[in-house]
Amino acid sequence: MLDLRLTRAARPAVQLRRLLVAAASAGTGFLLLSCLGYALKRPEAAGSGALRLAWCVVPVAATVYLALAVARTDPGTRPRPGLSAIGLGPARLMAVSALVTALSTILGSLVALSLFLHLRGDLTGLPFDGAAASFLAAGKSLPLAATLTLLAVVPVVATVAVALALRPRDPRPVTRPQRRYLPFVRQAGGPAVGGRTAGGPAASGRTGEVEAAGGGGAAGEGTLAAAAPAGVIDPRFTSPSLTDKADDDKGPGDTPAGLPWAVALVAAGLTAQAYAGRTPPTPAFTFTTVPTGAGLFLLGWLLTAVGLVLAAPGLTHLCGRLLQCARPGALRLLAGRGLMAEATRIGRPLGILCAVTAAGYAVTTLYDSPGRPFGPLSALGALVVAGCAFATLLTVAVETRQGRAETTDALLRLGAPATVLRGAAALRAVALLAFFAPLTLAIAALAAFPLTR
C-alpha cells in the first residue's frame, strides 16, 4: 500500500514523464502490430515482413532508453534515510521502479492494441473510409499468441532493463588489498622477516626496540599492531588503495575516455558510406527492400551513430573547457565546470540525439523523391525515435539538476545571486547547441552525400 501511495503521490512533472513512456510504448507497440498485419496481408513476402520487424528494433531501443532515464529521475523511488526501517530498502525501491515502468509500458501497449483494432474495424467499423485496411490486414483474424508476444516485448525489456540498472549496489568502494612485508613491524601470524617468523625472537626484539624508542605513543601503536588479526597488515604502513570510479561520478578534471576511438569510428563510418556511394545499389534502397549492395551503407550508418554516441561525452567535456578559456568570470566558470562535471551523464543522450538527427537527415534525403513517399508508418517510427531521444535528453537534464541541488543550495546560502545560476544554466545550453549543431549537420551532410549522387 505504501508503494502505491509513493507512486500516486508524485508531482505532475513525474506523472508527465511516465505518460511520455506510455506514449512511446504505444507508438512502438503499434509499429510491431503493423508488422503483424503486413505479414497477414502478404504471406508470400516473408522477407519484407521480417525486414519491417527488424527495423522495429530501433524504436524499441529508444523506448527502453527513455523508460530507464525516467526511472532514474523518479523522486518517489529514491533511497532516503529511514525508509529501510519500514521495509523500503534499496531492493524494494528498485522493485517499485520496475513495477511503475511495467505499468506505464503496459498502458501504452493496451492503447496500441485498442488503436490497432479500431483502425482494423474490429470495434466500430472501418474508420477513415478504410484507408488503413491495406496495411493492417482488415477482415483477417489476429493470432492471439503472436499479438500478445509482440505487445509484451516493450514491457518485458523495459522492466528488465530498469531492474538491472537500479539493482542495489554496495556503496563502499572496491578496495584492492596490498600485501607488504615490512621490517621492524610486528605482524601476528605474518610471513618470515629476515629468515625468521614475525613472531620469532629477532622480530620481537626489533619490535621491542621500536616500541621503546617511541615512548608511550609508540607503545600504544604496538598494542594496536599486536591486536591485529592474523594475516592482516597494519593499515598504517600500507598506502591507500585505489578505488574504482564510475563514469557518472568523475570529477571536473577527469576527461571521459574513448574520444579517439569514437573519432575513428565516425571516420570509418563516413568512409564506408562514401565507398558504397561509388556504386549505387539497385533496386532503390527503402525500409521494406534492402538490396544486396546496401549492406555497406547500413554498416557505415551504424559505425557513424556509435561513434557519435561515444564521442559526445568527450566533446561535452571539451566544450566545458572552452567555456573557461581566456580569463573566465564567475558565470563562465560555473557553466564550464558544470559541463565538465556532468560530461558523461549529459553526453550520452546528447550523442544519441545527434545520431538520430543525422540519420533523420539521411532518411529525408533518401525519400526526397516522388516515387518513394514517406509513408505513415515510417513517419510514426521517426516520430517515436526522435521524440524518445529528445525526451531522454530533457529527462537527463532534470536528473542533472537534481544531482546538483545540494551545490546550488550551498551557493545560494553563500550569497550567489539566483540570476547567475540561471545564466550559467542558459550558457551551458547555448554552448552545447553552438558546438553540436554544426557538427551534427556536417556529419549528416557527409553521411547523406553518397545518397544524392
pLDDT at 129: 56
- Helix, strand and coil content of the chain, in percent to the nearest 5, comes to 70, 0, 30
Using 50, 70 and 90 to split pLDDT, how confident is the model at 228?
A: very low
Q: Are 335 and 366 in contact (CB under 8 A)?
A: no
**Matching residue, cell 482494423:** 120
Let me know how long the chain is.
Answer: 453
Is residue 227 pLDDT above 90, yes or no?
no
Confidence bin at 126 (pLDDT 50/70/90): low
pLDDT of residue 217: 45
Q: Could you please report the per-residue DSSP string of 172-218?
A: SPPP-------TT---TT---BTTB-TTSHHHHHHHHHHHHHHHHHH
Write a three-state SS string for 3-21. HHHHHHCCCHHHHHHHHHH
Ramachandran angles phi, psi of 174, nearest 5°: -80, 115
Q: Mean pLDDT highest for which of 27-36, 79-88, 166-175, 246-255?
A: 27-36
Residues 322-347, mean pLDDT to the nearest whole number? 88
- Return the minimum-mean-pLDDT range out of 31-45, 69-83, 163-177, 293-307: 163-177
* Amino acid 310: pLDDT: 93
**Residues ≥6 apart with Cβ < 8 Å to 384:** 24, 27, 28, 31, 59, 62, 63
The SS3 assignment for 402 reads: helix
| 3-class secondary-structure state, position 415 | coil
Judged against a pLDDT cut of 50, whether residue 226 lies above it is answered with no
The segment with the largest mean pLDDT, out of 50-54, 131-135, 434-438, is: 434-438
| Cα–Cα distance, 95 to 101 (Å, whole number) | 10
CB 421 within 8 Å of CB 331: no
**More confident site: 349 or 214:** 349
Residue 248 has a pLDDT of 52
Taking alpha carbons only, the member of 121, 114, 97 closest to residue 17 is: 97
CB-based contacts of 293: which residues, under 8 Å, 6+ apart? Answer: 276, 279, 280, 281, 282
pLDDT, mean of residues 315-334:
89
pLDDT on residue 225 = 43
Closest by Cα among 29, 315, 269 to 150: 29
Dist CA 197 CA 194 (whole Å) = 8
Whether 316 shows a pLDDT value over 50: the answer reads yes
Please enumerate in sequence order all residues whose Cβ is within 8 A of that of 69, keeping only pairs 6 or more positions apart, or say none.
349, 392, 395, 396, 399
CA separation for the pair 331, 324 (Å, rounded)? 10
